[in-house]
Structure 1
Amino acid sequence: MTARPDRPVSPADRAAFDRDGVVCLRKVLTDTEITHLRDAVDRQLAGLGQTTTGYDFEDLARQIWHPARSMDTGAAERFDMQMMKDMILDDPEARPLRETDAFDAAGVFFYDAAAWKSDGGVRKVAFDSRLPEIAAELLDARYVNFWEDTTFVKGPHTRQKTAFHQDLAYFQISGTQCVVVWIALDPVTHDNGRIQYVRGSHRWGETYAPNVFVSQTPFRSSPERRCPDIESAPDAYDIVAFDVMPGDVIIHHVMTLHGSGGNRSDRWRRAMSLRYCGDQVRYFDRPGAIPQVGVAHDLRDGDRLLSADYPIVWPKPWPDLRLADVYECLGPGASSSET
C-alpha cells in the first residue's frame, strides 16, 4: 500500500487501517530523515550502560531467568528491574520467550526512549516529516500532539522475542485516538524480527495490562486483564506482518496487539517508533503506565495535552514552518545534536 503523492493517505490505506488496526505505507520518509534517526539510535546505543534510560533486554532476560542473580542495569534507572524480576518469577504462567538459533551468541535487544528531548534530528522527523499529517488523517483528528519516541534495536542473533502486547495501558492517556508509527532503519524481514500484528484486535473492546516485553507477565500495578498468550497459539489469530525497507513506516492503532520474534540473521534491526495523539485524547495518570522521561507538566486527569511535553505538530500555522526549529528556540531547555 502506498500513500499517494497528492495526499498523505489513500482511501485504501485509510480503509485498511480502520479495518485491520495497522497499515504499511511505503517510501514515506526521505533518506535524510532516516539518517537523522539512525544517527540518534547509534548515539543511544553508544551510551548503553551509561545513560539512565537505555536497557539491553536480552541481557536482562538472562538475568531474570537466573534466580540467584541480582539485577544489574548499569546507570539505567527508569524501571525497577529487580521488582520486575520478582514479579516474573512469581508468575506461574511466565516462561522465557526465546528463538531457537544455531548461534549461541549473546545478542542485544536495546531499548531507549525520549530521544526527541535532546536530539534535533529526531525532532525534525517527529515534527516536520509527513508523519504528523498522516497521523491526523488516519485518526480523523483536528490536531495532533506528539507523545514520545521509543527505540528498539535487535542485534544479529538476538534470541529474545518481544511479547505480544497492546500499547494503550503503557501511556498516561484516556481515549484511543492514538497511533504508533514504527520506522525501520534497516531492511526488516521475518529472519531479523519483523513486527507481527493481530488484525482487527483494536476492535475487541479490551484494554490489556502492560508487560515487560521479555515475558507476558502483566504489571502488578495495572488493573487491566492479562494479554492473551498469542505466542502459544499463533494460528488461532489473524496475524499479519510486513517486510519493510528504510523509509517505509508501519502505523498501528494504540489498541492493536503486536509482538515480534528475535533476530536470527547476521543483520542488525534498528527501529524507532513515534507516537501521536489526536484532539480527543486526554491526560490520565493511568495505574501501571510506564513513567515518562523528563516530563515537567502539571496536567491533571481529564486535561487536554496542552504542554511543551506534548507539542502540537499538526496542523501547522503555515505550510513551510519548521516546528523543530521553533521548539529549539522556545522549548523547555531542549538542546540539539543536529543543526
Structure 2
Amino acid sequence: MKQDRSEAVSAEDAAAFERDGVVCLRNVLKPDEVEHLRLAVSKQMEQLGVSATGYDFEALAQQVWDTSEPVEVGAANRFDMQAMKELVLSDPDSRPLLEEGEASKKGLFFYDVAAWRWDPGVRQVAFDSALPGIAAELLGANNLNFWEDTTFVKAPHTRQKTAFHQDLAYFQIEGEQCVIVWIPLDAANDGSGVMQYIRGSHRWGETFAPNAFVSRTSFPSSPHPKCPDIEGNLAAYDIVSFQVKPGDVIIHHVMTVHGAGGNRSDLWRRAMSFRYCGDDVRYFDRPGALKQAGGAAGLRDGDRLFSKDYPVVWPKPWPGFRLSPVYDARQIGWDLERARYT
C-alpha cells in the first residue's frame, strides 16, 4: 500500500514534472546530508588514476581530438577509451564541445560511479533522506528501487560541455518509472555548468542512443538513433535550467533530454546524481547500455529489480525506519578495506 504523500512535493511540482519532465525542489536535503556526499566525492577524486571507475573527461576530450596524443586513463577500466577515441574520430558529424576560453587553462571534468557501494554516508542519503519518498510521489510508484549514483565534477575554467543526451539507453532497464535526482554540492548556475533540460522531451516517444558525453557520437552497439544536434540548434528547443544551491535538487524523467555547459566560473561545480526505479521497471540487458560497476547479479531480462544490488528504498516497513544502518555492504561483494570489488 502506498505510504503518505511526500510533503516536499506540491501539486504544482507534480504538475511541472508531468508536463516538463523536470522539476527543481528547494531545500530538500539537510546540511549534514550534503556534507556526506561532499566527503564521498572528495574520496573518489583522491583515487583518480588508481580507481577502476574514475575518469577525467576533460583530459580525455583533449586526447580524443589530438590524434598524436595517446589515451591515458590510469587504472580506470570501465570503458575502452581508445576504442571510443577511434569511434569519435570516425564520425563525420563529431566536433569538440567546448566553451569559449583560453586553451591554456586546464580544467577537470571528473566522473565516477557507485559510491553507495562503499560509502555509508552516500547510502544514508540515497536510502533514508527525503529523496525516496519524493521520487515515489513523482512517479506514482508503490515500490522504489535504488539503481546507482554517479558523480560529476567540473573544476573552475573547465571548457568541456556535456553533450545533450537521454538517460534510458545508458541503463540496463526497460520501463518509464525512473527518475534521476541531480544534487548540487556547490551553488550552480548557467555560468558554472548547471544542467540544462529540454522541456517536454520525455514525451517525444523516442529513445536515443547513448553518446560519449564529450561528443554527440553515439555508441554503435545501440539500436537507437542518435540524439538530435541540440548544441548546434539551441534556439529550436525549449531549454530550461535552474540556479541552485546545496540542499536543492533537480529531478528529471529518464526520457528527458538534457546536457550541460562547461564551468566558465572561478568556482567548483560538484554534483552527484541518484537514480530510482519504480514498479513498471524491469531488468533489460539493453544493447549499448553501460555495464554497471558490480550490479545486476543474477537478474535476467524481464525480472523485477528485487536484488541485493538494487535495494528497495520505498516504502519503509514502518515510519522512521532507516535502511542504511542495517544494509551490509559486504553482501554485494564489496571489500570495504580495499574499496574494490572482490
Q: TM-score, normalised by structure 1?
A: 0.96
RMSD of Structure 2 on Structure 1 (CA): 1.5
CA-to-aligned-CA distance 1:82-114 (integer Å, 9 cap, x gap): 010010000000000000124731100000000
| 2:224 is the counterpart of 1:219 | no
Say if 1:224 and 1:132 are closer, same or farther in 2 by CA, change over 3 A.
Answer: same
Q: In structure 1, what residue type is equivalent to 2:187?
A: P
CA-to-aligned-CA distance 1:151-202 (integer Å, 9 cap, x gap): 0000000000000000000000011110000000000011110110000000
Match of 1:106 in 2: 106
User: CA offset at residue 311 of structure 1?
Assistant: 0.3
CA distance in 2, matches of 1:224, 1:330: 37
User: CA offset at residue 16 of structure 1?
Assistant: 0.0
User: CA offset at residue 325 of structure 1?
Assistant: 1.0
Match of 1:151 in 2: 151
Say if 1:329 and 1:205 are closer, same or farther in 2 by CA, change over 3 A.
Answer: closer
Match of 2:132 in 1: 132
- Contact map agreement 1:180 1:275 (CA 8 A) in 2: yes
User: CA offset at residue 320 of structure 1?
Assistant: 1.6
Counterparts of 1:69-88 in structure 2, within 5 Å, are: 69-88=69-88
Match of 2:89 in 1: 89
CA distance in 1, matches of 2:186, 2:126: 18
Match of 1:176 in 2: 176
- Contact map agreement 2:198 2:238 (CA 8 A) in 1: yes
User: CA offset at residue 318 of structure 1?
Assistant: 1.0
CA-to-aligned-CA distance 1:184-240 (integer Å, 9 cap, x gap): 000001111011000000000000000010000000110000000000010100000
**Structure 2 residue matching 1:182: 3-state secondary structure:** strand
Q: In structure 2, what residue type is equivalent to 1:301?
A: D
Corresponding pairs, count: 333
User: CA offset at residue 336 of structure 1?
Assistant: 6.7
Match of 2:308 in 1: 308
Could you tell me which runs of 5 or more consecutive residues in structure 2 were left unpaired when the two chains were aligned.
338-342
Match of 2:340 in 1: none
Q: Which runs of 4+ in 1 moved over 3 A?
A: 333-337
Match of 1:123 in 2: 123
CA distance in 2, matches of 1:228, 1:197: 14
User: CA offset at residue 331 of structure 1?
Assistant: 3.6
Counterparts of 1:1-339 in structure 2, within 5 Å, are: 7-102=7-102, 104-295=104-295, 297-328=297-328, 331-334=331-334
Q: In structure 1, what residue type is equivalent to 2:229?
A: D
- Contact map agreement 1:155 1:269 (CA 8 A) in 2: yes
Say if 1:6 and 1:53 are closer, same or farther in 2 by CA, change over 3 A.
Answer: closer
Could you tell me which runs of 5 or more consecutive residues in structure 1 were left unpaired when the two chains were aligned.
none
CA distance in 2, matches of 1:105, 1:17: 38
**Structure 1 residue matching 2:35: 3-state secondary structure:** helix
Say if 1:242 and 1:329 are closer, same or farther in 2 by CA, change over 3 A.
Answer: closer
CA distance in 1, matches of 2:120, 2:326: 11
CA-to-aligned-CA distance 1:289-313 (integer Å, 9 cap, x gap): 0110012611110000010100000
Aligned identity (percent) is 65
Q: In structure 1, what residue type is equivalent to 2:332?
A: P
